[in-house]
Amino acid sequence: MESFDGEMNGGLREVMHKEKKVLNRGFVELVEWMGGDEAVIRNARRCWRSASKGTESDRKLLKHLLLKGHKTPFEAMVFTFDIKCPLFVARQWFRHRMGSFNEESLRYCVAEREYFVPEGLPAKLRDEWREHQEETFTLYEQMISRHSLRREAARAILPIGIYTRFYWTVNGSSLMNFLLLRTSRQAQREIRAYARAILEIVSTVAPWSFSIFQEFVLKGGESGSHEEA
């Protein structure tokens, strides 16, 4: 595992252990990582029993791997993120099975009074939205504190817009697949916001890999339907 004490460059200091705000109450935080561009190049060159041949050659190798879809060497990079997002975003996220998820459980924890509010709502509608959420949380809390209802049962009354938290551990290859799908304009706007935030973070950790990925995979796709980070 990379050491975070000492020789981290300024860019990494900006992203490590710092919450990157997303939506009205959410965030993404990189808590740990292993590997990077050098690890990908090292693993890829094992195929030819070769070593690094300099910056230009190594960048060409990364481009070749991505354009040909040879993504196994990118599994040498592993990231763990702390994620806070609306429940409906998390349920879309968890469909990406090539990763590890550890989510806060409302069987054992009392839900925090935090919920998603869409941008651009007219003032009256926004007030009604908040009022409904607040009333629901009040009833939920009363069910637990006043009526001694089990937390695992009381949670059923909560709306799908509440915020949840989880750790997500994912390798570079699987992360690229996630980003390919979730930065697309066909993806829901809210999960796109998280995908863009993650892409910005990992582009600091492995700048060669993810800059080439953005240029030749996201922007170079036939559909041309991906957003810039």
Give the residue numbers annotated as catalytic, written as ranges: 182
For residues 11 and 184, what is the distance between their CA atoms, to the nearest angstrom? 26
Report CA torsion sign: 43, 33, 56, 196. Answer: positive
Residue 85 neighbours by CB distance under 10 Å:
25
Q: What are phi and psi of 57, to 5 degrees?
A: -65, -40
Nearest Cα to 25, choosing from 194, 141, 229? 194
**Residue reference for tokens 């809210």:** 190
Q: Which amino acid is at 7?
A: E
